Structure 1
Amino acid sequence: MNPSLSPLDWLVIGAYLVFLVLFALWLARQQRDRNDYYVGGRALGAWPVAISVMATQCSTNSILGAPAFVAFAAGGGLVWLQYELALPLAMVLLILLVMPLFRQLQLVSVYAYLEQRFDLRTRLLLSALFQFVRAFATAVTVFSIAIVIDLILGIGFFWSVVILGVFTVVYDVLGGIRGVIYSDVLQMAILVVVLALLLVLLAADHGGIGGLLERIEPARRQALDFSRHGLGDGETFAFWPMLIGGLFLYLAYYGCDQSQVQRLLSTRDIDTTNRALMINGLLRFPLVALYCLVGVGIAAYASENSGFIPSLPLHDGAPQYNLAVPRYMIDSLPPGLVGLGLVALFAAAMSSLDSVLNSLSATTMEDFVLRFSRRPPGPTRELWLSRGITVAWGVVTLTLSFYVGDIAPTVLEAINKIGSLANGPILAVFALGLLTRRADGRGACVGLLLGIAGNALMWRYAPGVSWLWWNVIGFVVTFGGGWLLSASSHRFDREALPHPLALLRRESRLHWPRRCILLLCWFAALLALLANIG
């Protein structure tokens, strides 16, 4: 046991973990079938869904990785804030084009749309790809928090993974999507309180936020970088790849990724879904700015305390910069608050892991088990099958966490590199269905494989190209290749197909113009703010 933790800290951590399990047990009483388990009976409100979606994004990858990127990563700094400029734009497109259609079709698995638009092969390929990519990316999350648990407890990486996994899987299996969403709301509240406390402490020691900014390198204070393009110049985090690449990444993540879409499909109606998207588009930037400023504070603290960086654990002979925030908490916070701070890190990891496990279970159940069942199981059996599949995916992701430690210098880059391989191609498949009548399943599937292969070649042979551009490159290759291959096919009468966007006319209503205008104004305000910082 780490002597830096007091009995009060252990009491806070233990009480939190026990509460999560008891809360999930209480929620389990309301579950009757898979509809309750996966989409909460489609009765949830906009605020809890929006906060849950933000909590998943504000994972340990962010809490550990963003401060490490801002404070220590080569080429890092406040340029990470440029990434958030793409989010309001993505929310506008999702409100206008994507969510109305998905809500109208009453989906549980978003990939069921691809069977209705293309064929079964396309649905299964995209669902399987989601499962592979998301399970692997989630393993990075488990890896990042497990090394923190090992730092605290000194029990080794293996048992740290087991402790994290057992509690998360138990409350996820019991609580279903309601457990995921409501626990995420609690976890987000704890996270914001702890981050705000850390920022206040760091700022108080350096004369405020302005004092923190003065103590870091000028290059790290620059929030906008228009001088680079990221297409072979080795500048990953320039403005254009972060804005354009980030837009494609966010469209894919919020519009085509089951782990996000599933919660948006749990709301009461399309208007509630659009409100959740708007709330997320407005509140994400303040949240990201908060933990980036904590990174500024950590950089200032490290510059004045020569023993801080040597106190970080080593990995392959280099300091684990991802552990800078928990190291600072253990060194600086009083008993009880250290425990609360570590609960915040647990919460960040769990808020990502729980939603992914539930969505992996949903796609497995909907796209494979029920799709190929000769006779549909009864509601009770469906519920127990869903829980069993959730357990199985928990075992898979925890096992993968032992093999993902060397993908990138920081956790934040690792998680985004994994996603950027497939995000653009996946988005392009949905775009082929939504925007064209010419596309067919064969063209979409082949285009998808071409897009992913192209991105893999970029990773291997063009390291000077920003991985953010992979989202755009993969989209263009998949969309263009899929459309051309489909156009060469004469196996069906394309003119007989209704235009996909015709399905949106009845659903695209209820205040969306006002919300879209508000998000576009928010984008302009953020751009002006970052220009002033830079």
Structure 2
Amino acid sequence: MLYLLFYQSPYYHYYTMMLSTTDWAIVILYLIGMILLSVYLSRGQKNQKDYYLGGNSTGAFPVAISIMATQCSTNSILGAPAFVAFSLGGGLLWLQYELAVPFAMIFLMIFLLPLFKRLNIISVYAYLEKRFGKETRTVLSVFFQFFRAFSAGITVYGICIVIEYCTGISFFWSVAVLGIVTVIYDSIGGMKAVIYSDVIQMVILYAAILFAIYISLDIIGGYDAAINAFDSKRLQAIDFSHTGFDGKDFAFWPMLIGGFFLYVAYYGTDQTQVQRQLSTKDAKGTNMSLFLNGMLRFPLVLTYCFLGICIGAYVVTNPDFFNDLPLKANEEPNYNLAVPIFVMQKFPIGFIGLFMVGLFSAAMSSLDSIINSLSATTMQDIVKGYFANSLNTKKEFYLSKVFTVFWGLAISAFAFFVGGISDSIIVSINKISSLANGPILGVFVMGILIKRINNVGAILGLLMGFVTNMLLWFFVPNISWLWWNVTGCVSAIVFGYFGSLINPKPIQEKVKGLVHEGKLTEAFNLSGYWGKYYLALAAYGIIMLIFLGAF
């Protein structure tokens, strides 16, 4: 077994010597601690609401930090610095994506999350059954499950190439170990363990990022030296010169508008996020978690993007560093490994272990929330939707854990097929997600804003929105994938509307409370309780734009 775990990796002879016994001890103790935490937090679980929503007893702040922790996953820690420092067309342009976040939070606080919270649902797709019918709920849920599982495979891929390179454990066994540990942890703890472990992970990981910045600046000679050494073209944070229709992906308009659609879809229709937001006590707590995420996310992203500047500047003064990066299948350096290799070379013993703990916990915290949400949608939307009469509370609780195991294995399998999608992990996961985000969002927008849409139109809109994006990917490559979030949504609405007219299947009569029937002014009430929060988010978005424009 030791031979299988270690000696099959091409990196064994060098890198296992760099991960000291102290570092291994820190990693192992942390993983054991997380499992014990999940056991402690699992006390009192009696039903699916306890398992999937933490008994609706979680505060807004832990939920907001948990959401941020998912964003600050291995995809971000590996991909964002690589994009800023090395990727073709990269640099601080990635920060333009963040300009859309505050405005997306406003939309969600007005239209989606209070509605979902009021309906007292576990799966966000339960809304679609109430609004359209069981068929729409089933199709959307299956659609989500496949794409979220595939994108989660990218997360597993990201951390496992690091585990392989830094420890000598082969990629196969890295995937196996990470998957098994995460499934055990997730099946025990449920949503409450997911949230509170995310809070711990966020503290550890952010500390590791700051320490990596400190070490790199100390080597380079300080902030001014880093900025002077870094490629000045990559310091540009705003690009008004391109539109995203000319082969240039990372321009202002596609990142602002496409980003708005992406974030509304991600935070408002993706079960992995909505499930946590619904775990609060009431709608006020849910909205507050969105507000806090909108305010705190930008400093986090700015920090790990600045780490990319530091790594890029270090490479300029130490060009031999490129020789330490392994080659991908296309014979180009694997830039996603730049940060962990820098840490392995420059961090002292013990701190390397803490950084590895950060990467492990980031991957596990992202993965366990995804597995938990996939289990929830499978159980709520498929099993209970079609086999409810044969299940009791005990069987439902048992099956919830069975589906957790199933999705953990499926995601691990996907990890072997995602390595070549892009030279940056963070681009890979956003590209895959953008295929589906727009069409899914389009169905929800039709549901909450257009009373005329029926079940046939909703399903047709979803399928045609996805087909539209696939056609753009294969036949119109000059259109940025960032626009797919818009084209998918708009196409879904257009086809859904006309599909409802061509196939006039009766619209459900009981839509009261499920559609915003011409009361947008009332919803966007600046004089009400949430008005000051809307204004604060909008002002924050403008301040962010001014700040980035100064680069």
Say yes or no: TM over 0.5: yes
- What pairs up with 1:427-506 in 2 under 5 angstroms? 427-492=441-506, 498=512, 500-502=515-517
- What pairs up with 1:77-156 in 2 under 5 angstroms? 77-156=91-170
Q: 179, 191, 195: which is aligned to 2:205? A: 191
Could you list the per-position Cα deviations for residues 308-338 of structure 1 after superposition, in whole angstroms to 9, with x for gaps in the alignment? 1110111112111000000000000000000
C-alpha distance in 2, partners of 1:273/1:419?
Answer: 24
C-alpha distance in 1, partners of 2:277/2:475?
Answer: 38
2:456/2:503 contact within 8 Å kept: no
C-alpha distance in 2, partners of 1:58/1:437?
Answer: 38
The count of aligned residue pairs is 532
Q: Which amino acid aligns with 2:152?
A: T
Q: Which amino acid aligns with 2:534?
A: C
- Please list every run of 5 or more consecutive structure 2 residues that lacks an aligned counterpart in the other structure: 1-11
C-alpha distance in 2, partners of 1:522/1:103?
Answer: 26
Q: Give the direction of change, closer, same or farther, for the CA distance of 1:493–1:28 in structure 2 (3 Å limit).
A: closer
1:101/1:507 contact within 8 Å kept: no
Q: Which amino acid aligns with 1:473?
A: T
The reply to whether residue 209 of structure 1 matches residue 223 of structure 2 is yes
Structure 2 match to 1:273 = 286
Q: Which amino acid aligns with 1:221?
A: L
C-alpha distance in 2, partners of 1:142/1:133?
Answer: 14
C-alpha distance in 2, partners of 1:339/1:519?
Answer: 38
Q: Give the direction of change, closer, same or farther, for the CA distance of 1:157–1:478 in structure 2 (3 Å limit).
A: same
Give SS of 2:319's match: coil
The reply to whether residue 236 of structure 1 matches residue 249 of structure 2 is yes
Q: In the TM superposition, what is the alpha-carbon distance from 1:117 to its structure 2 partner?
A: 0.4
Q: In the TM superposition, what is the alpha-carbon distance from 1:487 to its structure 2 partner?
A: 2.4
74-83 vs 499-508, greater mean Cα deviation = 499-508
Q: In the TM superposition, what is the alpha-carbon distance from 1:269 to its structure 2 partner?
A: 0.5
Give SS of 2:389's match: coil
Q: Which amino acid aligns with 2:530?
A: W
Q: 228, 233, 236: which is aligned to 1:219? A: 233
The percent of aligned pairs where both chains have the same amino acid is 48
Q: In the TM superposition, what is the alpha-carbon distance from 1:497 to its structure 2 partner?
A: 5.1
Give SS of 2:385's match: coil
The reply to whether residue 293 of structure 1 matches residue 311 of structure 2 is no
Structure 2 match to 1:519 = 537
Structure 2 match to 1:333 = 347
1:436/1:500 contact within 8 Å kept: yes
The reply to whether residue 248 of structure 1 matches residue 261 of structure 2 is yes
Structure 1 match to 2:3 = none
C-alpha distance in 2, partners of 1:427/1:208?
Answer: 45
1:370/1:376 contact within 8 Å kept: no
Q: Which amino acid aligns with 2:313?
A: A
Q: 351, 359, 370: which is aligned to 2:365? A: 351
Q: In the TM superposition, what is the alpha-carbon distance from 1:490 to its structure 2 partner?
A: 3.3
C-alpha distance in 1, partners of 2:523/2:164?
Answer: 50
C-alpha distance in 1, partners of 2:203/2:388?
Answer: 45
138-147 vs 213-222, greater mean Cα deviation = 213-222
2:455/2:505 contact within 8 Å kept: no
- Please list every run of 5 or more consecutive structure 1 residues that lacks an aligned counterpart in the other structure: none
Q: Which amino acid aligns with 1:168?
A: T
Give SS of 2:504's match: coil
C-alpha distance in 2, partners of 1:32/1:497?
Answer: 33
C-alpha distance in 2, partners of 1:4/1:493?
Answer: 65
Q: 327, 351, 357: which is aligned to 1:314? A: 327
C-alpha distance in 1, partners of 2:538/2:390?
Answer: 46
Structure 2 match to 1:52 = 66
Q: 430, 445, 453: which is aligned to 1:416? A: 430
Q: In the TM superposition, what is the alpha-carbon distance from 1:492 to its structure 2 partner?
A: 2.5
2:226/2:309 contact within 8 Å kept: yes
Q: Which amino acid aligns with 1:407?
A: I
C-alpha distance in 1, partners of 2:272/2:406?
Answer: 17
Could you list the per-position Cα deviations for residues 376-397 of structure 1 after superposition, in whole angstroms to 9, with x for gaps in the alignment? 6333322221111101110100
C-alpha distance in 2, partners of 1:350/1:261?
Answer: 19
Q: TM-score, normalised by structure 2?
A: 0.94
Q: Which amino acid aligns with 2:239?
A: D
Give SS of 1:230's match: coil
C-alpha distance in 1, partners of 2:388/2:98?
Answer: 46
C-alpha distance in 2, partners of 1:500/1:128?
Answer: 24
Q: TM-score, normalised by structure 1?
A: 0.97
Could you list the per-position Cα deviations for residues 283-327 of structure 1 after superposition, in whole angstroms to 9, with x for gaps in the alignment? 110000000000000001111112211101111121110000000
